């Protein structure tokens, strides 16, 4: 019955609460912030990373921050409705890649929101082949396509999962013009579906992640489920920051064998393409700049203290705080680079 008594007590103290102002003071942050994320899953990387950041922010600013996994379209809607700083958002590169790929519901975030600061990278974006595949490396894949063989790549259309595919197609176009049409997408959904397409022999290469697929790479080659990494899209210096143990039975050094420059997917013939999935804040365009600055400063102090980095690294995230203005410029440049890749393969 204690629960009941507590709620009666809460009801009694409730009048006081209603009377208390929502804002402690005008330039201050609201005492209850809703952090919406662009993912519907509470088991995924966006939620996990946002929860870490939200907890640190709440502690630092002594406010409530509640993470709600409403998914991208609802998150953008909620953010657009609320300029008081009571709703903020965390999402990753999908937010502008969706726009680049022309997916319905994705506006230009740089026009419509305040972008940044960044908080972390998930370095795990990977491409895999079956362990017994004749193609053992990215070189083999590109050579096969150049030789006129159709290479089917399982991806989820319109974003983070497709960008590596687009880069691969672009690299083939740069090195073997005309052969890029041999790189064909197999559009599918979840990781389960991508894996299944490989097990069924319906895809030669699949998009996956270090976190979700590492154990499959440890299986014996005669197992139908056995896979092999051929490419991690992350930058070399990103993986270098990971804990030396890496993930599962694959050490950091072993992971580095799959990034540039050891695996080369060229951007323009001289530079390699890389893609880091970065998590960053998005704010309503009309939100008080002082409020944004307050969050930015708090994050700066949190990262300076150094505890959050340990938590992030333990979960295979690479800490990556960039102040708001710097993050916005950086992400815009990143977007423009990918736009170039996508445009290049679109105008065959």
- Please, which of residues 211-240 interact with other proteins by CB under 8 A? 211-216, 218-219, 223-225
Task: CB nearer to other proteins: give 56 or 265.
Answer: 56
Candidates 202, 255, 205; CA nearest to 233 is 255
Which position among 18, 19, 304, 333 is part of the footprint of other proteins (CB under 8 A)?
18
Could you give the string, one character per residue 158-187, with x where binding to other proteins holds by CB under 8 A and - elsewhere?
Answer: xx--------------------------xx
Determine the Cα–Cα distance for residues 240 and 262; give it in Å rounded to an integer: 13
CB of 227 to other proteins, least distance (A): 10
By the rule CB under 8 A, 246 interacts with other proteins: no
Task: CB nearer to other proteins: give 33 or 183.
Answer: 33
Q: Provide, for the chain, the percentages of residues in helix, strand and coil under a 3-state DSSP scheme, each rounded to the nearest 5.
A: 45, 20, 35
By the rule CB under 8 A, 315 interacts with other proteins: yes
Determine the Cα–Cα distance for residues 37 and 12; give it in Å rounded to an integer: 34
CB of 264 to other proteins, least distance (A): 28
Task: CB nearer to other proteins: give 215 or 264.
Answer: 215
Q: For the chain, how many helices (H) and strands (E)?
A: 15, 11
Contact between 66 and 35 (Cβ < 8 Å): yes
Could you give the string, one character per residue 260-299, with x where binding to other proteins holds by CB under 8 A and - elsewhere?
Answer: ----------------------------------------
Stretch that binds other proteins, among 66-74, 114-122, 126-134, 318-326 (CB under 8 A): 66-74
Which position among 46, 50, 86, 233 is part of the footprint of other proteins (CB under 8 A)?
86
Which position among 27, 59, 64, 289 is part of the footprint of other proteins (CB under 8 A)?
64
Neighbours of 346 (CB within 10 A): 10
DSSP-assigned letter for residue 133: -
Candidates 101, 48, 46; CA nearest to 75 is 46
Candidates 346, 342, 348, 347; CA nearest to 93 is 342
Residue count (the chain): 348
Task: CB nearer to other proteins: give 58 or 143.
Answer: 58
Angle at 329 between CA 328 and CA 330, to 5 degrees: 90
Task: CB nearer to other proteins: give 218 or 348.
Answer: 218
Span 185-214, contacts to other proteins by CB under 8 A? 186-193, 195-197, 199-200, 202, 211-214
């Amino acid at each position: 019955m204690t629960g009941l008594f507590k709620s009666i007590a809460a009801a009694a103290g409730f009048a006081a609460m209603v009377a208390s102002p929502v804002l402690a003071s005008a330039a201050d942050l609201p005492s209850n912030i809703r952090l919406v994320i662009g993912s519907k899953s509470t088991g995924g990387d966006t939620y996990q990373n946002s929860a870490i950041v939200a907890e640190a922010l709440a502690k630092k600013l002594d406010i409530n921050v509640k993470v709600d996994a409403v998914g991208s379209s609802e998150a953008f809607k909620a953010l657009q409705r609320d300029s008081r700083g009571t709703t903020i958002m965390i999402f990753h590169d999908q937010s502008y890649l969706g726009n680049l790929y022309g997916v319905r519901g994705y506006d230009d975030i740089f026009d419509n929101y305040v972008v940044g600061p960044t908080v972390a990278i998930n370095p795990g974006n990977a491409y895999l082949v079956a362990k017994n595949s004749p193609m053992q490396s990215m070189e083999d894949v590109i050579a096969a396509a150049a030789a006129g063989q159709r290479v089917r790549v399982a991806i989820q259309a319109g974003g983070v999962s497709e960008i590596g595919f687009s880069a691969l197609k672009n690299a083939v176009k740069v090195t073997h013009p005309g052969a890029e049409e041999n790189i064909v997408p197999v559009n599918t959904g979840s990781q389960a579906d991508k894996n299944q397409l490989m097990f069924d022999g319906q895809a030669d290469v699949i998009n996956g992640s270090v976190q979700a697929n590492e154990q499959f790479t440890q299986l014996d080659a005669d197992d139908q489920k056995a896979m092999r990494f051929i490419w991690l899209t992350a930058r070399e210096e990103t993986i270098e920051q990971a804990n030396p143990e890496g993930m599962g039975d694959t050490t950091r050094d072993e992971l580095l064998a799959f990034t540039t420059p050891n695996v080369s997917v060229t951007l323009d013939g001289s530079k390699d393409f890389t893609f880091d999935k970065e998590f960053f804040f998005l704010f309503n365009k009309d939100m008080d700049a002082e409020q944004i600055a307050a969050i930015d400063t708090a994050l700066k102090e949190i990262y300076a203290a150094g505890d959050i980095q340990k938590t992030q690294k333990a979960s295979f995230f690479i800490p990556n705080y960039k102040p708001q203005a710097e993050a916005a410029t950086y992400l815009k440049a990143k977007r423009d680079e990918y736009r170039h890749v996508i445009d290049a393969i679109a105008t065959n």
